[in-house]
Structures are given as C-alpha cells and as structure tokens.
C-alpha cells in the first residue's frame, strides 16, 4: 500500500492488516515505526474528527505535525497544489493528509507530484473517505465480530456521501448484506454493480438490521432547488429509539460518521442513550486506525 486514496485501490489484505495493526495500537502492544517523520494536514474543507484524529494519531506515533493553514498559504497567490506539495516535500514533509471539496483532486495531484511523498485522502468531495470506512469497519468488528452476511443499512444522503461510497466499497469486499435507504433523489446510482438493495421506506430498510449507519443530509453539496425541507426529511427518515426498537435486531449498532444534525436524521434522545455511544467510539477508534494507516505508509519508506 503506497498511498490511501480510496478503498477500491487497496486489497482486502491491506484492509485486514490495517485493522489488525489498529487493534495492536489500541491495546498498547505495538510501538511506532515512524517517529520523527513529518506529517502535513492540508484541510481545504472544515473538519473536526478527521483532522484532530490524524493529528493525535501522528502525535502518538512521535511524528512532527504541520497544520498547514490553507486559507493563509501561498495558494492565494496562485501557487498550484502540486507545487505546494513538492515544496513541502523539500521542507522535509513525508506525508500529507488532504481534505478538499473537489472529487478526485487528490488522485490528480498525486499523479503530478514527482517526489516520493505519501498521500492520504482525508475526504474529497463526494468521492471517497477511506480512513472513515476503515474506522467504521474496525468499530463494526469490535461490536459484532464480523460483517459477513450481516444486514448493514446506510440511511440518508447516499448520493452526496463520500463516507457511504467508501463504506459500500469496503463492506462489499467483506461480504456484508448492504441496504441503502434514501429518497430517490438522494440514492446511490451504482447500486446494481455492488448487489445492493435500495429502499425508500425506512421501516422496510431497518427491518432486522444489525447495523444502522445514519448519514447527514449534505445541504452544502445540493444544487439550489428541488430538495425538501429538513422537517419533511425528518418526518420520513429520522432514526429514533422507537423505530430501532420495533424493527431492528435487538442488539443493533447505531453508527454515524459525524457531524450529526440532531433531530433531523437522528433523534437527540437516541444519540444520548446507550445505543448512541457507539458513535463516540467510532471517533475514538479513528485515532488507532489512523495510527495504523500512517505507520503502514511510512515505515521503512526511506522518505
């Protein structure tokens, strides 16, 4: 594994190696192999969990961390992303985590950069968020042991969600029974290729579910017109305690990549009860999974 751009580009073996390494880091059984290497966090879009957990992961590994300030960088003077990254490489940066609103931009710039700096996609547009899918998978394994033949339901704005796309790619590699639930205009266009069942009705979707992963409605990525009010979305798709109790499996796991909009896609009461705690555990696992990603990419790389 040279870089982490999307789940499609890495093997099942790569995924399992990262999961096992993350487990060792969490249990305190593994020491860093990348201390003193330098990581730059280049976030052109807002973030809480991804940015902070990559920073904490790097700190726990003994790395030097640069919080690249995109708004005050020389990009505003016309410098390209390629030139910026090549300059960072010559300053001693070994790896970059990039978040950007443009789908595919990280892959693009990676192909242009001539020097052996490592690239990690921290979320690009509606394309991919591979470290999120890996930490989601890690959390599912911790909670239910395996995803094989388990009913995993992703509810919400699937069409604009890079988290959903990376989860679909990963969970289908691992043999999960994937169901998506969204209004037709927010559905995933490529469902047939992945053998996924799509629903409009949330009760049908959640029926017997082992995992319910809720997504935020990404208003900032919608075209201007044609989307319903939040109140209409809430009426039809909000996940609450009663819905899970009646329809889902008794030991259902509730997940959300964050940030959650309380009382729109998920009820505030559900977020604050025992079932909702898994969402915080996802964020916590993100630190160990990102340690595993950085250690895997940078150990013995000579950069």
> By the criterion CB under 6 A, which residues form the site for ligand CP?
47-50, 123, 129, 132, 257-259
Pick between residue 128 and residue 292 the one whose CB is nearest to ligand CP: 128
Of 121, 124, 150, nearest in space to 134 by CA: 121
Task: In angstroms, give the least distance from the CB of 246 to ligand CP.
Answer: 28
Query: In the complex, what is the shortest distance from the CB of residue 131 to ligand CP, in angstroms, rounded to a whole number?
Result: 9
Cα–Cα distance between 30 and 112 in angstroms, integer? Answer: 35
Cβ 48 to ligand CP, closest distance in Å? Answer: 4
Alpha helices in 27-104 (DSSP H): 49-60, 81-91
Cβ proximity of 266 and 214 under 8 Å: yes
- In angstroms, rounded to a whole number, what is the distance separating the alpha carbons of residues 55 and 298? 15
Q: Which C-beta is closer to ligand CP: that of 121 or that of 177?
A: 121
User: Of 11 and 48, which has the nearer Cβ to ligand CP?
Assistant: 48
Residue 280, SS3? helix
Helix (H, G, I), strand (E, B) or coil at 24: helix
CB of 259 to ligand CP, least distance (A): 6
Q: How far is the CB of 250 from ligand CP (least distance, A)?
A: 27
Under a CB-based contact definition with an 8 Å cutoff, are residues 147 and 154 in contact? no
Distance CA 206, CA 239 (A): 9
Q: Of 162 and 177, which has the nearer Cβ to ligand CP?
A: 162
Taking the least distance from each CB to ligand CP, the nearer of 95 and 283 is 283
């Amino acid at each position: 594994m040279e870089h982490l751009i999307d789940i499609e580009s890495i093997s099942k073996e790569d995924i399992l190696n990262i999961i096992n390494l993350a487990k060792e880091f969490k249990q305190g059984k593994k020491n860093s192999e990348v201390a003193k290497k330098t990581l730059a966090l280049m976030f052109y879009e807002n973030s809480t969990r991804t940015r902070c957990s990559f920073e904490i992961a790097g700190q726990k590994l003994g790395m030097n961390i640069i919080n690249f300030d995109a708004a005050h960088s020389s990009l505003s003077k016309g410098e390209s992303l390629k030139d910026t990254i090549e300059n960072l490489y010559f300053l001693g940066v070994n790896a970059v985590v990039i978040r950007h609103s443009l789908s595919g931009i990280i892959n693009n710039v990676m192909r242009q950069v001539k020097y052996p700096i490592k690239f990690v996609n921290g979320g690009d547009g509606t394309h991919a968020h591979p470290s999120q899918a890996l930490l989601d998978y890690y959390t599912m394994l911790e909670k239910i042991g395996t995803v094989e033949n388990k009913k995993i339901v992703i509810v919400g704005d699937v069409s604009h969600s890079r988290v959903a796309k990376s989860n679909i790619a990963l969970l289908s590699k691992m043999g999960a029974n994937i169901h998506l639930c969204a209004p037709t205009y927010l559905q995933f266009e490529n469902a047939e290729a992945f053998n996924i069942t799509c629903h409009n009705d949330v009760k049908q979707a959640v029926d017997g579910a082992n995992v319910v992963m809720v997504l935020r409605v990404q208003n900032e990525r919608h075209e201007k017109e044609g989307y319903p009010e939040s109140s209409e979305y809430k009426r039809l798709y909000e996940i609450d305690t009663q819905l899970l109790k009646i329809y889902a499996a008794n030991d259902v796991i509730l997940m959300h990549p964050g940030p959650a909009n309380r009382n729109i896609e998920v009820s505030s009461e559900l977020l604050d009860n025992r079932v909702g705690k898994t969402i915080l555990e996802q964020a916590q696992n993100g630190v160990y999974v990102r340690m595993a990603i950085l250690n895997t990419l940078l150990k013995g790389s000579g950069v």
